[in-house]
């Protein structure tokens, strides 16, 4: 006990009587009766109860100088802690004890100084007793009642609910900027007032309860100020350029595309959106499978693929032409055999020209047409029926394979085109340099002066053909 105390033994009644005696002496029996302070040491702190008592008495004499203070040490928990109960009326001059926020900070400084002098640990903001960093989101509160509320011992705290909503929203891949953050928080039941005119962000739930970003920082040690959130959000969307890898560009597109809908995952998925994101996954798989890294490589590959498609289309056209020729040759084998005797007679001269002109002309013509078709197929191989059918079967197989290859190449070309199109959505746009009206007029004026100078030069040459004169152009 510090200050006047008439009894030999310290007990509850004696302390109470001593406090009340001072209040009656100075005629201040009402108002706040006492101040209760606690200094706690970590359970691993190397301090004995006796040392803790001396620490408390020294602190009381320094901070509560002139005020009666009961100092007691407790060991009812795993850590040693000091209780101090101080009379609010000074025994020196009868003044009342008052405290403000600034005094709390000074009390902390005094405690830290005393700990340093005695070789004890000093609490550091954001760190545990062993020096490790306290993870963001861990509940921190100077008030015991507030701490219990925040950790859920006395019901759900709306401050905690706000912090949990912020954490949930920030973990969503579609939360990439201020607008998507505000929209997603609204979906969680929190209206966000984030304005350039205000230094703090304010969160308001459906019941009208408000939470400042500074409240989250104090309670959980988590910085959710405008600057901190903007920094965290900027890290979620990679800044891509022409030098970025294709995978980085496509992943940035995927993130931005998701952010286009704040209700992603909550409402039925928009078909166009889900189809788009599935397409991006296909593109990334293609890039990995073909070991593509940069856009330039994809452009070169597209050129090669398009050349291959042109060559294969040309080859397909040749195969289809050969197929048509062989099919016609097979059909012509019948007429060729049927009209061959008539044609042989015509060639031998047995039949008169009158007969040929009036009776056999159609037969001879049909034979010649059939023979031309069979001869046309001769460049592909033998022209007997069996050989032609074998060739036709082979060509059909080649056509089918070529079409399959073209289809695969077309798919590759489509993917490579999509890569460039998707990249166009996330790469910074190249601004076109626009000429102002004044610049256009200036250029026209320069052009007119040049033309005028050339005209004068031509006139002087005409007027003085034998004498060269120097024409000075007008200054631009």
Distance (Å, rounded) from C-alpha 214 to C-alpha 225? 7
- Kindly report, residue by residue over 283-322, the tens digit of the pLDDT: 889 999 999 999 899 999 999 999 999 999 999 999 999 9
Condensed to tens digits (0 to 9), the pLDDT of residues 200-215 reads 999 999 999 999 998 8
Average pLDDT over residues 413-422: 88
Q: How far apart are CA 92 and CA 99, in angstroms?
A: 18
Taking residues 186-212, what's their average pLDDT?
A: 93
CA quadruple 212, 216, 221, 224: dihedral sign: negative
pLDDT greater than 60 at residue 436 = no
Q: Is domain 12-117 in CATH 3.40.1130, yes or no?
A: no
Q: Which residue did the predictor score with more confidence, 471 or 171?
A: 171
Name the percent of the chain lying above pLDDT 70. 76
Q: Which of 197-201, 207-211, 250-254 is least confident?
A: 250-254
Reported confidence tier of residue 418, pLDDT bands at 50, 70, 90: confident
pLDDT at 213: 92
How confident is the model at residue 261, as a pLDDT? 42
Under DSSP, the state recorded for 471 is P
- The token pair at 183 is 């929209």
Q: In what order do the strands lie in the sheet with 81-87?
A: 34-40, 81-87, 69-74
pTM, entire model: 0.43
Phi, psi (deg, nearest 5) at residue 136: -55, 140
Mean pLDDT along residues 105-113? 90
Measuring CA to CA, which residue among 462, 441, 443 is closest to residue 471? 462
Spatial CA neighbour of 402 closest among 277, 338, 309 = 309
Band the pLDDT of 476: cuts 50, 70, 90.
very low
Beta bridge mates, 210: 204
Considering only 65-79, 107-121, 133-147, 230-244, which range has the smallest mean pLDDT?
A: 133-147
**Cα distance from N-terminal residue to C-terminal residue, the chain:** 98
Quote the pLDDT of residue 420: 86
Mean pLDDT of the residues in the chain: 80
Mean pLDDT for the stretch of residues 369-397: 91
Distance CA 394, CA 371 (A): 23
Domain parsing of the chain, residue ranges: 12-117, 144-236, 325-426, 432-476
Instruction: For residues 1 and 81, give the distance between their C-alpha atoms in angstroms, rounded to a whole number.
Output: 16
**What is the predicted pLDDT for the residue at 279?**
82
For the residues 187-209, what does the mean pLDDT come to? 93
* Partners of 155 in the β-ladder: 153
> Above 90 in pLDDT, residue 470?
no
pLDDT of residue 314: 94
């Amino acid at each position: 006990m510090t200050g006047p105390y008439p009894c030999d033994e310290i007990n509850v009644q004696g302390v109470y009587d001593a406090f009340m005696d001072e209040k009656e002496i100075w005629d201040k029996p009402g108002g706040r009766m006492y101040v209760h302070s606690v200094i706690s040491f970590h359970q691993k702190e190397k301090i004995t109860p006796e040392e803790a008592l001396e620490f408390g008495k020294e602190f009381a004499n320094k901070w509560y100088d002139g005020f009666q203070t009961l100092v007691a040490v407790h060991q009812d928990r795993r850590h040693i802690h000091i209780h101090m109960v101080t009379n609010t009326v000074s025994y020196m001059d009868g003044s009342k004890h008052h405290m403000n926020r600034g005094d709390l900070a000074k009390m902390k400084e005094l405690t830290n100084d005393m700990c340093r002098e005695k070789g004890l640990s000093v609490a550091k903001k954001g760190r545990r007793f062993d020096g490790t960093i306290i993870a963001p989101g861990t509940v921190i509160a100077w008030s015991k009642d507030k701490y219990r509320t925040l950790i859920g011992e006395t019901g759900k705290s709306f401050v905690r609910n706000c912090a949990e909503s912020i954490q949930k929203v920030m973990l969503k891949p579609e939360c990439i900027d201020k607008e998507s953050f505000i929209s997603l928080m609204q979906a969680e039941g929190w209206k966000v007032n984030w304005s350039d005119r205000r230094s703090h962000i304010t969160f308001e739930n459906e019941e009208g309860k408000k939470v400042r970003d500074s409240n989250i920082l104090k309670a959980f040690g988590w910085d959710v100020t405008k600057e901190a959130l903007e920094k965290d959000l900027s890290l979620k969307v990679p800044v891509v350029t022409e030098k970025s890898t294709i995978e980085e560009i496509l992943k940035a597109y995927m993130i931005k595309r998701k952010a286009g809908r704040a209700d992603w995952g909550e409402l039925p998925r928009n078909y166009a959106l889900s189809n788009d994101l599935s397409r991006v996954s296909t593109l990334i798989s293609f890039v990995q499978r073909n070991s593509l890294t940069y856009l330039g490589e994809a452009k070169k590959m597209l050129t090669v693929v398009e050349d291959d498609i042109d060559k294969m289309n040309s080859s397909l056209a040749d195969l289809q032409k050969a197929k048509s020729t062989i099919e016609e040759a097979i059909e012509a084998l019948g007429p060729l055999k049927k009209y061959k005797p008539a044609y042989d007679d015509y060639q031998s001269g047995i039949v008169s020209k009158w007969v040929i002109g009036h009776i056999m002309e159609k037969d001879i013509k049909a034979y010649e047409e059939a023979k031309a078709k069979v001869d046309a197929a001769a460049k592909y191989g033998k022209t007997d029926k069996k050989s032609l059918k074998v060739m036709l079967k082979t060509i059909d197989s080649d056509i089918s394979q070529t079409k399959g290859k073209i289809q695969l190449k077309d798919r590759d070309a489509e993917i490579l085109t999509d890569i460039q199109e998707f990249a166009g959505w996330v790469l910074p746009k190249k601004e076109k340099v626009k000429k102002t009206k004044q610049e256009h007029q200036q250029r026209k004026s320069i052009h007119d002066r040049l033309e005028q100078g050339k005209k004068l030069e031509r006139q002087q040459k005409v007027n003085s053909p034998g004498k060269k004169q120097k024409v000075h152009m007008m200054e631009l």
